[in-house]
Homo-oligomer: A and B are copies of this chain.
Amino acid sequence: MLINNSFFNKLSPKETKFYSMLEELAFVISEISKLITESVSNYKYNESIEYFKKIKNLEKQGDKTITQIFDAFNTTFITPFDREDIHELANILDDVADYMNNAAKRIVLYHPKTIPNSAVQLGNLLIEATGCLYKAIAMLPTLKKDATEIKNCCDKLHSIENKADDVYEFFIKDLFENATDAIEIIKLKDILYELENATDAAEDAGNIIKTIIVKYA
């Protein structure tokens, strides 16, 4: 380990940069979750194209931030915590963004006739989850002081993921019981699968943050 715990009380400019980049990434994800939820609420195909454009732009912005994080790895010798933990956290945050972006893209490509309310429920859970992530990541610079509160955010991510599982399972069961159009089944199953994956990835991000707390708080 390159650092000791007292380190967290005297961050150098190099170190704070990692925090602000992670926070920026978390912010982008939180914004995407709002757009995808709007897109599936009162779904109108033409509007969903506009939402996708906005989401794609945010996702690209997130990609840039990730590149900056990884570039910074190669020029900075001290990181606020384990390189690997930051690397993994950034990658999983990127996954959250990717899954939501995929959902938005699939709506545009598949042009489903309707979008079920389960998608809206998943969207709202994603807003909640990415809000938790943002809050937890914003507290990382004060990890020692805020350990309990960060842990609470991570626990909440776990319970959100459980709710998302239930929503997705209800949706799938209902789809196969009541839908008769195989092509629409393919479309909706694929779209909501990406939303459910996004909540999984958000929980994974929470688990990595938990690991960081155990190590450094």
Contacts and interface: CB of A to CB of B under 8 A. Distances in A.
Interface of A: 74, 105, 108-111, 169, 172-173, 176-177, 179-180, 182-183, 185-187, 189, 214-215
A105 B214 contact: no
Contacts of A215: 74
Contact of A111 (B108, B177, B180, B214): B177
Contacts of A214: 74
A12 to B, nearest CB: 23
Contact of A182 (B111, B183, B189): B183
Nearest to A189: B186
B176 A110 contact: yes
Contacts of A172: 109-110
A105 B111 CA distance: 28
A108 B169 CA distance: 10
24 contacts: A74-B214, A74-B215, A105-B169, A108-B173, A109-B169, A109-B172, A109-B173, A109-B176, A110-B172, A110-B176, A111-B173, A111-B176, A111-B177, A176-B183, A176-B187, A179-B183, A180-B183, A182-B182, A182-B183, A182-B186, A183-B185, A185-B186, A186-B186, A186-B189
Given A74-B215, A182-B186, 13 more contacts: A74-B214, A109-B169, A109-B173, A110-B172, A111-B173, A111-B176, A111-B177, A176-B183, A179-B183, A182-B182, A182-B183, A183-B185, A186-B189
Contacts of A109: 169, 172-173, 176
Nearest to A182: B182
A149 to B, nearest CB: 20
